[in-house]
Chain A
Amino acid sequence: MKKIFTLILATLALSFALQAQDARQRSVETIVGDVVAQMPAQTAEALASDMLDLAKAAPESVIQLAAMLQSPEMGANNRIEYAINGLTNFAATPGNQAWKPAVKEGLKQAAALCTDPVNKQFLESQLWLLGTPDNTVVTAPIDSKVLRKSATSQEKCEALYLKERMLGVVPEKDILKAITDKSRTVRGTALRRYAPPTEAFAAKVAKKFKRLGTEGKVDVLNWLGDNKIESQLPLILGQFGSVKDIASAAIEAAGKIGGDEAADALIGQLGGENGAAALKALKSFPGDLKEKVAAALGNASGQGRSNLLALAGSKGMTNAAEQIFALAAEGDPGAIQALPGIAKSTDIGRLANLLDKAKEADVPGFAKGFAAALKTLSPAEKYDHVIKIIEGARHPERFFPALALSGTDEAVNDLVEAANAGSPEAVKALGKTGNYKAAPALLAAGRAGNLTALKDYVSFVDRFEKDVDRKCNALTDALAATKDTDLLKNFLAKLGNTPTSKAFAVAGSYLGNPDTEVAVAAAQAAKNIAAKCVDDLDATTKANVLGKAIQAFQARGTADDGYAVDEIKKMLAETQAGSPIFTLSDEERKAGFEMLFDGTNLDKWAGNKEGYRITNNEIYVTSGYGNGGNLYTEKEYRDFVFRFEFSFVRPGANNGVGVRTPHGVDAAYGGMCEVQVLDHDDPIYAGWLKDYQVHGSVYGVIPAKRIKHKPLGEWSCEEIRVQGDHITVTVNGEVIVDGDIREACQGHNVAPDGSNMNPYTVDHHNHPGMFNEKGYIGFLGHGPGVKFRNVRVLDLTPAAKGKKR
Chain B
Amino acid sequence: MDQSRRSFLKTTGAGIALFTVAPRTAFGKMGGDNHFIAPSDQLTRGVIGVGGIGNSSSHFVSDQNCRLVAMCDVDSEHLSKTLQRAKDTFGETPKAYTDWRDLVHDPDIDIVHIATPPHWHALMACEAANAGKDIFCEKPMTRTIGEGKRVREAVKRNGSIFRLNTWFRFKDTFYGLGTNVKPLKKLVDSGLLGWPLTVRISGATGFAWKFYWTGKENLIPEPVPACLDYDMWLGPAPFKPYNRHRTHSTFRGYWDYDGGGLGDMGQHYIDPVQYFLGKDEDFPVKVEIDAPQQHPDAIGIWRSITYTYADGCKIILEGEGYESKGKVPYIEGPLGKVYQGFECTIPYVMDIINELPDPEPTNTDFLECVRTRRPFSLNEDNGYHSATIVNMGVCALRLGRNLEFDPKKQLFINDDAANLLVDQPMRGEWGKLLK
Contact = CB atoms under 8 A, between A and B. Distances in A.
Q: How large is the interface on B (under 10, 10 to 19, 20 to 34, 35 or more residues)?
A: 35 or more
B181 to A, nearest CB: 14
Interface stretch (B85-93, B97-105, B238-246): B238-246
Interface string B289-302: 01011111110100
A152 B34 contact: yes
Contacts of B248: 559
Contacts of A138: 435
A82 interface: yes
B399 A39 contact: no
Nearest to B361: A284
Contacts of B239: 121
Interface in A558-581: 558-560, 562-563, 567
Nearest to B413: A94
A44 B400 contact: yes
Contact of A42 (B292, B411, B420): B292
Interface in A23-66: 39-44, 47
Interface string A96-126: 0000000000000000000000100110011
B33 A184 contact: yes
A153 B399 contact: no
A84 B32 CA distance: 52
A189 B238 contact: no
A92 B416 contact: yes
Contacts of B5: 140
B113 to A, nearest CB: 19
Given A40-B293, A133-B416, A137-B149, A78 B373 contact: no
A131 B296 contact: no
Nearest to A558: B249
B32 A154 contact: yes
Interface stretch (B63-71, B153-161, B331-339, B385-393): B153-161
Contact of A189 (B34, B217, B360, B373): B373
B2 interface: yes
Contact of A256 (B240, B297, B360, B416): B360
Contacts of B292: 40-43
A315 B300 CA distance: 48
B220 A75 contact: yes
B158 A158 contact: yes
A135 B146 contact: yes
Interface in B224-258: 238-241, 248-250
Interface string B128-161: 0000100000000000001001100100111100
Given A133-B419, A137-B150, A157 B348 contact: no
Contact of A188 (B158, B159, B218, B425): B159
B293 A41 contact: yes
B375 interface: yes
Contact of B1 (A43, A84, A143, A252): A143
Q: Which of A140, A154, A287 has the most CB of B within 10 A?
A: A154
Interface stretch (B23-31, B279-287, B308-316): B23-31
Given A43-B292, A44-B290, A89 B159 contact: no
Contacts of A77: 218
Contact of A130 (B357, B375, B411, B417): B417
B223 interface: no
B422 A133 contact: yes
Contact of B221 (A73, A132, A560): A73
Contacts of A139: 153, 435
Given A44-B290, A157-B157, A315 B355 contact: yes
Interface in B378-420: 398-401, 411, 414-417, 419-420
B57 interface: no
A222 B414 contact: no
B212 interface: yes
B278 interface: no
A81 interface: yes
Contact of B354 (A42, A215, A341, A376): A341
B194 interface: no
B293 A185 contact: no
Given A140-B435, A185-B159, A280-B361, A39 B293 contact: yes
A182 interface: yes
Given A153-B159, A182-B33, A316-B354, A85 B241 contact: no
A731 to B, nearest CB: 28
Contacts of B422: 133, 135
Contacts of A375: 348
Contacts, number: 198
Contacts of B150: 137
Q: Which of B359, B372, B373, B420 has the most CB of A within 10 A?
A: B373
B219 interface: yes
Given A73-B221, A376-B348, A154 B355 contact: no
Contact of B31 (A137, A143, A154, A286): A154
A141 interface: yes
Interface string A138-178: 11110101000000111111100100000000000000000
A141 B2 contact: yes
A62 to B, nearest CB: 14
Contacts of A284: 357-361
Interface string B415-435: 111011011010000000001
B361 A153 contact: no
A477 B415 CA distance: 59
Interface string B342-364: 00000010010011011111000
Nearest to A318: B355
B59 interface: no
B296 A81 contact: yes
Contacts of B28: 152
A118 B32 contact: no
Q: Which of B359, B361, B417 has the most CB of A within 10 A?
A: B417
B357 A137 contact: no
Contacts of A153: 29, 31-34, 159
Contacts of A39: 293
A156 B373 CA distance: 15
Given A81-B295, A314-B354, A161 B157 contact: yes
A85 B296 contact: yes
B226 to A, nearest CB: 21
Contact of B240 (A73, A118, A215): A118
Contacts of B360: 256, 284
A779 interface: no
A192 interface: yes
B344 to A, nearest CB: 14
Contacts of B95: none
A118 B219 CA distance: 12
Nearest to B352: A316
B131 to A, nearest CB: 9
Nearest to B218: A75
Interface string A301-342: 000000000000011100000000000000000000000010
A93 B404 CA distance: 12
A189 B249 contact: no
B290 A185 contact: no
A618 interface: no
Given A152-B31, A192-B375, A72 B241 contact: yes
B171 interface: no
11 contacts: A81-B297, A85-B294, A94-B415, A135-B423, A137-B149, A153-B32, A154-B32, A184-B372, A252-B361, A283-B357, A284-B359
Interface of B: 1-2, 4-5, 28-34, 132, 146, 149-150, 153, 156-159, 212, 217-221, 238-241, 248-250, 290, 292-298, 300, 348, 351, 354-355, 357-361, 372-375, 398-401, 411, 414-417, 419-420, 422-423, 425, 435
Given A131-B420, A140-B5, 19 more contacts: A40-B292, A73-B221, A76-B218, A81-B297, A118-B240, A125-B238, A128-B425, A129-B420, A133-B423, A139-B435, A152-B132, A153-B31, A154-B32, A157-B31, A183-B32, A189-B159, A189-B373, A192-B375, A560-B212
